[in-house]
A and B are shown apart, each in its own frame.
Chain A
Amino acid sequence: MTVLDRSGAQQSSPHPAPPPAWRPAGDAASLLPQDTPYRVLGSEPLPVPPALLGDGPRPDDAELLALHGHLAKGRRYNEQATALTKQGSLAVYPSSTGQEACQIAAALALAEDDWLFPSYRDSLAAVARGVDPVEVLSLLRGDWHSGYDSRATRVAPLSTPLATQLPHAVGLAHAARLAGDELAVLALVGDGGTSEGDFHEALNFAAVWQAPVVFLVQNNGFAISVPLAKQTAAPSLAHKGVGYGLPGVLVDGNDAAAVRQVLSTALGRARSGGGPVLVEALTYRLEAHTNADDATRYRADDEVAAWRAHDPIALVERELTARGLLTEAHAAQVGAAAEELASDLRGRMRTEPSLDPADLFAHVYARPTQQLRQQQAQLQEELAAAAEGGPR
């Protein structure tokens, strides 16, 4: 009621009921990440697990030995792919050396029906999920944009534009929930990717829809050359969940047991209708951004050395040693398995990929347009003429 409305004869109460009092729609405190990253390996006593996790059991010996094997294979895969790049077999390779704990834990935490949405630095996660490494490397080799069957493997194509795969992960998770299918989706992104609009839109949609999706931010300290301090002023990247109403969890990203535990719990929670979670894993990219990058231009050697001492494999090996499990026999077995993967990859990458120029036109649409059919015929004629060796 304003003075302008006071024309009628009827006088209403001078103190009409106010609109409903504002109160927060949810409890912000329960969404906040912990002050210290969750850690299982190499620290006594155990830090308090995040509320989301409940009791965090220490990994048993068998799990720890298996993790070690996966990590060693992962490291060897990274080394081999980097070597293949130097030899010219791959166009480019963004290495996840130093981030193997996140890569392996991501794959191991997934159930059969779950989906993985990797970025271009996450080829190891796809390999650890069981996808053929030669097919995984198609994008980076350049024989096709994606070399594996995403539907059969439930691994989305490696996404190159940063964070753009995150809304896809949310949409797929939402569709699965609508269908009543009990599965969860794990979406991977880096620290730089959290600045992209798609990251924020994906978190918001996921929370509003309560989609069964877990976002794993691998904070490796740098977006190519730009350090985190120039990327964000947030207390942590895990804090970014609060603004969207989903819980954030902070974990030591080099502690494979901790990441595995956090992701398994978060995915299980999502699968059973508990909603999305944002996990920030603190890790470090030990190699340059790609083979084309020079990391010495933007970071100091002693920083790299400090992270090498906190290497994911070293963390597991220290724990294995403390438990008396790092035997020669185990080391030999792990080394042999890693070498077998590398040797198989090396050998098969020596074979030329099968390329068919007709593929350029075959999958643009369900049925090629008239114009595409003409262009394909033109290319075929050119190729036929070239094969005959005659002057064109």
Chain B
Amino acid sequence: MTATLPQQTAPPTPLGRALNRALRDALAEDPAVHVLGEDVGTLGGVFRITDGLAAEFGDERCTDTPLAEAGILGAAIGMAMYGLRPVIEMQFDAFAYPSFEQLASHAAKMRNRTRGALPMPLTVRIPYGGGIGGVEHHSDSSEAYYTATPGLHVVTPSTVADAYGLLRAAIASDDPVVFLEPKRLYWSKEPWDAESPHPVPELGRAVVRRPGTSATLIGYGPSVPVCLQAAEAAREEGWDLEVVDLRSLVPLDEETVVASVRRTGRAVVVHEAQGFGGPGGELAARLSERCFHHLEAPVLRVTGFDIPYPPPMLEQHHLPGVDRVLDAVARLQWESEWTSKEAR
């Protein structure tokens, strides 16, 4: 699957605005959809993603809750048991942790526990990742907690169009979706017309953002723009890099990734989350299992360090940037010699 080109005539629209539009359209189309969270009502959320929703749909459809994340998620589970389709907002990645028991022990397990009698069509929106100069607890990449929890879908957009489409798909899903919003992309703009109809993609489909032949860069959410910039810069080195945007960590679209890596023979996974136990390890393992005879080099990972998220004045050292991605690309055994001095 390849990305459709954005309409050039459409106005530049920030990613956060597309999320807002997705929530508005979901509320308008399905009376079962309810938005809940801290400050989502009058204020419109600290990132203004729910701006105007309470005014348009009323406090009962867009509800300011007490400040208690486990209570919010637990109540949303009860609402889902009664047939509603709650969409809850966690204010920041690290503030979602109090709700983890409700997510892991109940939202993720209720359908399975009840053999389908009580599905959990709820969406947990979580702004995640760094790069906004946030102080401690405001920049975690917490996706590995969620991907390690069977029963959850874990989805993250990297483009304005996907912000809309994937959020609509998440809300329409009959399973719980952890919808990770790359907060540093909230203000990034692309031509996108909110008023024209937009396709709602199927969850669990990766997309090739940039076709290439030399190697595959695999990213998701905030690392996709980094991969695209690296691919652009790599042209000067003579590398034609393909960029795959996973869009969904669970379900994982192995076929798109495997097809790309079998074509290029080389792969680098890029994410902000810590390397140890991060999604990159899972991808590297699956690629080595399924692409072994096509690989010209070990699958490399460019990730955050295995450290608590740094203070804002040091975060640039932690975040995987273009240079670090290019360094990894340079180590992809271009001379096809395992014993080469370059190989590390």
Contact = CB atoms under 8 A, between A and B. Distances in A.
A339 interface: no
Interface in A143-184: 144-146, 149-152, 156-157, 161, 164, 166-176, 178-179
A365 B108 CA distance: 9
A161 B102 CA distance: 10
A198 B71 CA distance: 7
B66 A204 contact: yes
Interface stretch (B110-118, B161-169, B215-223): B110-118
Contact of A173 (B66, B78, B250): B78
Contacts of A343: none
Given A146-B114, A365-B175, A201 B71 contact: yes
Contact of A364 (B65, B102, B112, B117): B112
B71 A167 contact: yes
Nearest to A201: B71
Contacts of B66: 201, 204-205, 208
Interface residues of B, number: 48
Contact of A366 (B98, B115, B118, B175): B175
A378 interface: no
A174 B79 contact: yes
A197 interface: yes
Contacts of A156: 81
A363 interface: yes
Given A164-B74, A359-B115, A366 B79 contact: no
B77 A167 contact: yes
Contacts of B175: 365-366
A140 to B, nearest CB: 14
Contacts of B83: 175
A321 interface: no
Contacts of B111: 363-366
Select the residue from B71, B112, B115, B174 with max chain A CB neighbours within 10 A.
B71
Given A151-B117, A369-B250, A371-B251, A170 B74 contact: yes
A290 to B, nearest CB: 20
Interface in A188-215: 197-198, 201-202, 204-205, 208
Contact of B71 (A144, A205, A359): A205
B68 A204 contact: yes
B335 interface: no
A97 to B, nearest CB: 26
A171 B79 contact: yes
Contact of B101 (A145, A164, A169, A370): A164
A168 B78 contact: yes
Nearest to A359: B115
Contact of B251 (A170, A197, A201, A370): A370
B143 to A, nearest CB: 17
A161 to B, nearest CB: 5
Contacts of B76: 171
B151 A164 contact: no
Contact of A201 (B68, B118, B150): B68
Nearest to B121: A366
A197 B78 contact: no
Interface in B168-215: 173-175, 204
A244 B151 CA distance: 34
Contacts of A366: 111, 119, 173-175
Contact of B79 (A157, A175, A202, A369): A175
A369 B251 contact: yes
Contact of B105 (A151, A161, A201, A202): A161
A170 B74 CA distance: 8
Interface in B91-138: 98, 101-102, 105-106, 109-119
Given A144-B113, A365-B151, 17 more contacts: A149-B114, A150-B117, A150-B118, A161-B101, A168-B74, A168-B77, A168-B106, A172-B79, A175-B81, A179-B82, A201-B68, A201-B70, A204-B66, A204-B71, A365-B175, A365-B251, A370-B255
27 contacts: A146-B114, A149-B117, A150-B81, A151-B118, A164-B74, A164-B101, A168-B78, A168-B81, A170-B74, A170-B75, A171-B74, A171-B78, A171-B86, A172-B79, A198-B70, A201-B71, A205-B65, A363-B111, A363-B114, A364-B111, A365-B111, A365-B175, A366-B174, A369-B204, A369-B250, A371-B252, A371-B254
Interface of B: 34, 60, 65-66, 68, 70-71, 73-84, 86, 98, 101-102, 105-106, 109-119, 150-151, 153, 173-175, 204, 250-252, 254-255
